[in-house]
Amino acid sequence: MVSDLQVMAAGPQCSKVEVVATLKNGREVCLDPEAPLIKKIVQKILDSGKNN
């Protein structure tokens, strides 16, 4: 499964938001930041950070 999830904002090198998941085997995969499930997961992570 996923061991880490990074959300990188758009910037000079990339005009789009990037979501990169690091799997437990070390492999990194790019996820579509516009996909409804990915949006929901990212929002849940952001909301949990506000509570800490």
Residues 16-49: pLDDT tens digits? 889 999 999 999 999 998 999 998 988 888 888 7
Split into its structural domains, the chain has a count of 1
CA distance 32 to 39: 9
Q: What is the mean pLDDT of residues 5-10?
A: 87
CA distance 28 to 51: 28
Q: And the tokens for 43? A: 């929002």
Whether the model pTM is above 0.95: no
Name the residue with higher pLDDT: 9 or 52.
Answer: 9
CATH number at residue 21: 2.40.50.40
Range of the domain at 12: 2-49
* pLDDT tier, 52 (very low <50, low <70, confident <90, very high otherwise): low
